[in-house]
Amino acid sequence: MNTQVVKPLLLMSILFACLSTSFTLQAAGLPPYVDGQPVPSLAPMLERAMPAVVNISTSTNIQVGDNPLMQDPFFRQFFNVPEQMNRQQKNSLGSGVIIDSSQGLVLTNNHVIDKADKILVTLHDGRQLNAELIGTDPESDVAIIRVHGNNLTQLPIADSSQLKVGDFVAAIGSPFGLSQTVTSGIISALGRSGLGIEKYENFIQTDASINPGNSGGALVNLRGELIGMNTAILAPTGGNVGIGFAIPTNMIMTIKESLVKHGEVKRGLLGVTTQDLTPELVNAFNLENKHGAAISRIESNSPAAKAGLEPGDIIVAANGKPVKNSQDINNIVGLLQVGDKVNIEFFRGNEKKEVDAVIGKPEQAQMAGEKLHPLLKGTVLGVTQKDQVEGVVLGKIHTSSYAWRLGLRPGDVIVSANRYRVRNLEELKQVVDPEDALLINIQRGQEGFFVVLR
């Protein structure tokens, strides 16, 4: 027999024998101590933590038609086409973490439950519970839902400011729908920002394997405490390359308080536009300090203007937290509420100064939907942001409202009403008759469709 073939076979036989011996030992019960020392294992910690991590499945009904013209009710009426549209159901999977067992509060990502008509939570013990939406914050990708059930297990919350690069961590979730999956690794970096994933970024980076379906799951320390919520991965090749990101608990819990109380995060306004310091700016301003956020614009009559800040000032700290770049000041201010005080440390030239500012209310026109049309009761209408198509945005919709049952969702943008183009609330008011049916053209992401309220 060819020896080049025998040797690999022999090695495989030896390896199989060793593995068989190993399996036999495990089957017989591997002792908890070897040479008087305990065998390291995450099992005891995971036994406590895993019951608090749940699987989340959602379903969303989407109206579709064979021809886009069929979405126009006037077209369907002219050709005597039935009103009933074809409906498709869109399903998605993700994870969640029980953070308050007494209240049934479950933490997850906004993108896991975004625009869902039904949210189903599957517990560690196999129970399936319907969940209700408590609040979402798309700008940080945090959402809170509630389930009603007995004997729920919650995870203890750790102080994420105490984390260090190199700390061991475990990620628990449902990648690809495989519930109760655990991967382990370390914290690779802290305070990751500028990734363009969310508006407010302060991510924990980890090499613990995170995949689709892990979103909303738990990142825990070796004590089984929640330190972050798994949210995204960097996948240049389309697969996991060991670069995952989690939202830290300190940021989550600040947002959670506002979501439970208001159903949304009511962010305040400082009134500054900043940019990162570059070597060119450091030289141009003749600065000794090379880290901070340079103020490029001050809104008139804003809290920043009233506090005496000026364009060219370099913010280096806010409320005692260091500011290394624009994202840092964005994150700090983004977690503050209207009326909160913020202490700003900054350099004007090479002179260090300090001021206090009171966070103000953003000047954004809003109105209750019922003031425009009775069938819009339970909605809140506002104006779109600069990076959105011009129109009137549905900022909030009560789940018991007619608008919700009709299929409208928060974030939908009204771009026309009764066949008139509308760009703001004033234009919308001019073309709406509260006593007549209302035809609106909705823009949702890259999709557009018509809805009739009658």
Co-location of 211 and 85 in the same domain = yes
Question: Which tens digit of pLDDT belongs to each residue from 20-65?
Answer: 333 333 333 455 666 667 778 899 999 999 999 999 999 887 655 4
In a domain, 35, yes or no: no
- The three-class DSSP label of residue 387 is coil
Same domain assignment for residues 339 and 426: no
For residue 213, is it within any domain?
yes
Q: What is the pLDDT averaged over residues 91-111?
A: 93
Same domain, 251 and 143: yes
One domain for residues 335 and 379: no
**Is 10 within a domain?**
no
Consecutive H or E run containing 113? helix 110-113
User: 35 vs 19, 31, 38, 41, 438, CA distance in Å?
Assistant: 21, 10, 8, 16, 79
The whole-angstrom separation of Cα 220 and Cα 436 is 55
Tokens of 168: 């061991």
Q: What is the pLDDT of residue 13?
A: 35
Q: Tens digits of per-residue pLDDT, 246-262?
A: 999 999 998 999 899 88
Beta strand extents in 65-127 (DSSP E only): 86-100, 105-108, 118-122
pLDDT for 102 beyond 70: yes
Query: What are the backbone angles phi and psi of residue 376, rounded to the nearest 5°?
Result: -100, 15
- Residue 165 and residue 286 in one domain: no
> Is the same domain home to 127 and 222?
yes
Q: Which residues are catalytic?
A: 111, 141, 215
**pLDDT above 60 (res 7):** no
* Residue 137 sits in the same domain as residue 242: yes
pLDDT higher than threshold 70 for residue 17 = no
Whether 285 and 381 map to the same domain: the answer is no
Q: Is 7 a domain residue?
A: no
Instruction: Output the pLDDT for position 196.
Output: 76
Q: Which residues does 254 contact at the CB level (< 8 Å), separation at least 6?
A: 335
DSSP letters along 328-350, please?
HHHHHHHTPBTT-EEEEEEEETT
- In percent, the amount of the chain with pLDDT more than 70 equals 83
140/265 Cα distance (integer angstroms): 10
Q: Which of 238, 265, 292 marks a domain boundary?
A: 265
| Whether residue 413 sits in one domain with residue 447 | yes
Single out the residue in 358, 383, 404 at which a domain terminates.
358
**Same domain for 181 and 81:** yes
What is residue 87's predicted lDDT score, i.e. its pLDDT?
Answer: 58
Query: Domain for residue 17, yes or no?
Result: no
Residue corresponding to tokens 């183009």: 421
Cα(354)–Cα(347) distance, integer angstroms: 9
Q: What CATH number is given to the structural domain containing 304?
A: 2.30.42.10
* Same structural domain, 182 and 310: no
Instruction: Tell me, yes or no, whether 126 lies in a domain.
Output: yes
In a domain, 350, yes or no: yes
- Counted domains in the chain: 3
The three-point CA angle 441-378-454 to 5° equals: 50
Residue 414, C-beta contacts closer than 8 angstroms, at least 6 positions apart: 381, 391, 392, 393, 394, 422, 428, 440, 441, 442
- What is the C-alpha to C-alpha distance for residues 454 and 368, in angstroms, rounded to an integer? 18
State the residue range of the domain holding 393.
366-453
First CA to last CA across the chain, in angstroms? Answer: 85
Residue 382 backbone dihedrals phi, psi, to 5 degrees: -145, -170
Query: In the chain, what percentage of residues exceed pLDDT 90?
Result: 43
Chosen domain end from 219, 235, 265:
265
Q: Is the pLDDT assigned to residue 3 strictly greater than 70?
A: no
Q: Which residue has the higher pLDDT, 233 or 187?
A: 187
Least confident of 43-47, 156-160, 442-446: 442-446
Find the CATH number of the domain harbouring 196: 2.40.10.120
Q: What is the mean pLDDT of the chain?
A: 83
